[in-house]
Amino acid sequence: MRKIAAYIEKDPESGLYVGIVPGIPGAHTQGETLDELHKNLQEVLELCLEEMGTESIPEFVGIQEIEVGK
């Protein structure tokens, strides 16, 4: 079993949780709860990986916070 990092944020307009897996085209989904989002991300990742194969999954390195503006 392989672990893949997802970027999760909460949409301020809809209130939904949105998950995106950087580097995997089509690997994004949403859910009303974090549990629902997790399930939806598992499903979409399985479909994406069937199409692209597991050899080309990018390695997750990390997230940086960048300060902008004043």
Residue 61 lies in a domain: no
Predicted pLDDT at 16? 98
Identify whether 12 is part of a domain.
Answer: yes
Number of structural domains found in the chain? 1
- Evaluate whether residue 65 is within a structural domain: no
pTM score: 0.81
Q: Which two tokens stand for residue 10?
A: 């909460």
Query: Among all chains, which residue has been given the structure tokens 């672990």?
Result: 3
Which residues contact residue 44 at a Cβ distance below 8 angstroms, ignoring those fewer than 6 apart?
26, 27, 28, 29
- Model pLDDT, residue 27: 94
In 10 A of CB 41, how many CB atoms?
22
Owning domain of residue 48: 7-52
Give the pLDDT of residue 46.
92
Does residue 67 fall inside a structural domain? no
Q: Is the pLDDT of residue 30 over 80?
A: yes
Q: Strand (E) positions, 1-70? A: 7-10, 17-20, 28-31
Q: What is the mean pLDDT of residues 27-41?
A: 97
